[in-house]
Amino acid sequence: MGAAERIGQFTLDNGLRLVTAPASTGQVAAVNLWYGVGSRHEVPGRTGFAHLFEHLMFQGSGNVAKAEHFDVVERLGGDINASTSTDRTNYFETVPTHALDLILWLEADRLASLREGMTQEVLDNQRDVVKNERRQRYDNQPYGTALERILRLAYPEGHPYHHPTIGSMADLDAADLDYVKSFHKAHYGPDNCVLTVVSDLEPEDVLARVEKFFGAVPARDALPEVPDASLNSSLGGPVRDAVTETVPAPGVFVGFRVPAYGTREFDVLHLASAVLGQGQGSRLYRDLVVDRPIAADDGGAAADILPFRYTDSLLLVNMLAREGVSGDELEQAVRKTIAELAGGVTEEELDRARAVLELDHLQSISGPSGLADSLSSCAQLFDDPALAYTWPDRWSDITAEEVRAAAERLLVDDNVLVVRFDPETSEAPAAL
């Protein structure tokens, strides 16, 4: 029996969707919960809230003390974490199998009773932690604000993808306890959750355990309003944001709006991004790192695609200039290489791109935790967990002409955004 046929799928009466799958090593259970809430659900003035909320989920609930959730899992030698994106918030643990019930109980407790454990002190502390996370990842990193700037250019003011998940310092300061509680009520219900368990247990056994701990948690009374993520106009490019600040070298970030995650066109553009800038056989690496060479060696990671399910996704290219190379020169060269994709793609390039993306996919599902996350994702976003195994098939019949045509239509000036970083002065010391 193939791996995809061994997936179990169940829906509890309260709407919780359960996915089960076998692990390839023994004695281990990976638990992964995808809640259908992300920064796209935030309203102006409340940015950063979905992510701040993710932190609060570790701060205690009705029957669990602050930090106890972490303590239980660490004591088991397990892995535990969570993350927030535009489209979802996921929570995950990998533990020895005998601890599965305890993990399910902990997850059910914070789903059902987080509001009882929440205090102003906890909120104040985690707000400070998140502000330091923002400093560490954005404000104190060279080029750290690039994504924030890219999103600002890519989506209009008021659009739910206009801001990054980390939010703004001002909005984080304004977070209050009542809003925390109302956010939990609005978004955290079993009917908004996919729970995946990857283990060596039988699917029915897992189902019985999940029923036991989650079965009595009621579904939400009402569904929250979701901010409108439709886009009425094109990007109107080129649009740009030029930043002069303390960076070690000029940095070029180029982005294009592309179709939503899950469409065939998205897959076509995903292949295009691999042809352009994933791997050392990619065009940007060959042209600008090896042949010319004017861009810093990034090992072949210049292009990527941000998969947004509910609005246009973004194809992004990022390169840093070599010493003595100006930002203008690098930007022109990057955009020229991208534009040339419309001139055609060879079969060999396409084969390499497929192989690179396939390996990436295989790596992402090669451990129980990554597999569980991928199953949750495919169930939550596409209602089809088997896609976690079969996703590479989507690339198999995409033709070189499709990639070329998509590039000709989408990787063009009126769909382009550029964020440029340039060092403050030409004499700036290289180290700073």
Partner 1 sequence: MSQTRPELGAPASFTFPRPQRVDVGAGTVVAIDVPGQLLVSLRLVHQHGAALEPLDAMGVSLLTSEVLEDGPDGNSSLAPALERHGAEWNSRVTWDAFVTGLDVPVNRLNQAVGLFSEAVRRPALDADDILRRREQLVERFWLGSASAQTLAMRSVGGQLFTGRYGTPLAGGPGKLGAVTPEQVASFHGDTLASTAGTLVVVGDLTGVDLSELGKRVFGDTSASRERDLTTPAPPPGELPRVVVVDRPGSVQSALVIAQRVPSRKEVDLPRAEGVSEILGGMFTSRLNMELRERLGYTYGAGSGFDLRRDTGVFLMSTQVEADTTAHSITSSLEQVNELRDGGVTEQELQTVRESNTVGLPVSYSTARSMAGALVDMVVHDLPDDHVDRQRAGYEKLTRESLDSAAQEYLHPEQAVVVVAGDAERLRGPLGETGVGPVEVVDPETLWA
**Minimum CB separation from partner 1 for residue 85, in Å?**
18
**Minimum CB separation from partner 1 for residue 280, in Å?**
3
Instruction: Let me know: does 253 contact 416? Beta carbons within 8 Å.
Output: no
Find out whether the peptide bond into 238 is cis, omega within 30 degrees of 0.
Answer: yes
Judged by beta carbon, residue 156 or residue 281, the one nearer partner 1 is: 281
Scan residues 180-199 and list those touching partner 1 (CB under 8 A): none
Scan residues 92-151 and list those touching partner 1 (CB under 8 A): 94-99, 101-102, 105, 108-109, 112-113, 124-133, 135-137, 139-142
Contact between 164 and partner 1 per CB under 8 A = no
Contact between 1 and partner 1 per CB under 8 A = no
The β-bridge partners of 239 are 417
Distance CA 206, CA 12 (A): 12
Contact between 334 and partner 1 per CB under 8 A = no
**Minimum CB separation from partner 1 for residue 401, in Å?**
21
Contact between 12 and partner 1 per CB under 8 A = no
Amino acid symbol at 319: M
Phi, psi (deg, nearest 5) at residue 321: -80, 145
Amino acid symbol at 258: V
Stretch that binds partner 1, among 178-186, 256-264, 361-369, 395-403 (CB under 8 A): 361-369
Scan residues 57-86 and list those touching partner 1 (CB under 8 A): 62-63, 66-67, 70-71, 74-80
Contact between 179 and partner 1 per CB under 8 A = no
Distance CA 345, CA 342 (A): 8
Q: Is the dihedral of CA 191, 197, 201, 203 positive or negative?
A: positive
Contact between 246 and partner 1 per CB under 8 A = yes
Phi, psi (deg, nearest 5) at residue 260: -65, 150
> What burial class does residue 22 get, using C-beta atoms within 10 Å of its C-beta: 0-12 exposed, 13-18 middle, 19+ buried?
middle
Stretch that binds partner 1, among 212-220, 224-232, 310-318, 394-402 (CB under 8 A): 212-220
Contact between 11 and partner 1 per CB under 8 A = no
Contact between 329 and partner 1 per CB under 8 A = no
Helix (H, G, I), strand (E, B) or coil at 316: strand
